[in-house]
Structure 1
Amino acid sequence: MMRGMGNMQGMMKQMQKMQKEMMKEQEALNEKEFIGRSTNDLVKVVFSGDKTMKSMKINPELIDPEDPDMLQDMIILAVNDALTTISKETEQTMGKYTKGLPGF
């Protein structure tokens, strides 16, 4: 009976250790910068890993009052590019923790 309790404690310690590692990796991801680009780098956006936009650079040639749609499309492309990169890297980094765990 007591041996079972020891295993349980060992498992809890293991889980806590894993949780600490997960948090550390998540923090590192959050601090990392991800750059999203539109076609020909006309729009460049910088996000942190927690999906917060930090900056945006727009090529002045793209700012055409006659064609706001083009600018909007390029911004959307760049933002989605950055978010896709963040998602992929988060999945690669954090995926090893969630594999085989119920509820993930």
Structure 2
Amino acid sequence: MAGYRGGFGGGFGGGNQMQQLMKQAQKMQEQMAKAQEELEEAEIVGESGGGLVQVVVNGKKAVQSVTIKPEAVDPDDIEMLEDLIMAALNNAYDEAEELYNEKMGQFGGAGGLF
């Protein structure tokens, strides 16, 4: 009777190779989870109007806070305030996108795999 050497039938390779692949996948999953946690904890500030409007988002673009200084509010020009808020949000989102690409870019297209 021949001895069992492990591995899979069909010439797939040894069980040791499969173990290595599983370890690599697990390590990548752990690294991705850590990067996603760092993104959630990050605080990115976007400003407009020289600091009149400030928006804080996390690395996943979730708004954490909005601060509007009183001098930014002109009841006769609400459109300006709307523009300031939009500009601050876009600024924060751009920076959050850069952070996301920095943290998750190393995983290629696998960002949603795990």
Shorter chain as denominator, the TM-score bin is 0.7 to 0.9
**Among residues 4, 7, 17, which one is paired with 2:27 in the alignment?**
17
Deviations 1:37-96 (A, max 9, x none): 113111001112222212111121110011000000000000111111111111011101
1:45 aligns with 2:55: yes
Runs of 4+ with >6 A deviation: none
Q: Please, which runs of 5 or more residues in structure 2 have no aligned partner?
A: 1-5, 8-12
Give, as a single letter, the amino acid of the residue that structure 1 aligns with 2:45: I
1:57-68 map, 5 Å? 57-68=67-78
- Match among 42, 62, 77 for residue 32 of structure 1: 42
Alignment RMSD, CA only?
2.0
Matched, 1:86 2:106: no
Give the structure with higher Rg (CA). 2
d(CA) in 1 for partners of 2:83 and 2:52?
A: 11
Q: How many percent identity over aligned positions?
A: 41
Amino acid at match of 1:55: S
Aligned length: 102
Question: Hey, what's the Cα distance between the residues in 2 that align with 1:91 and 1:15?
Answer: 20
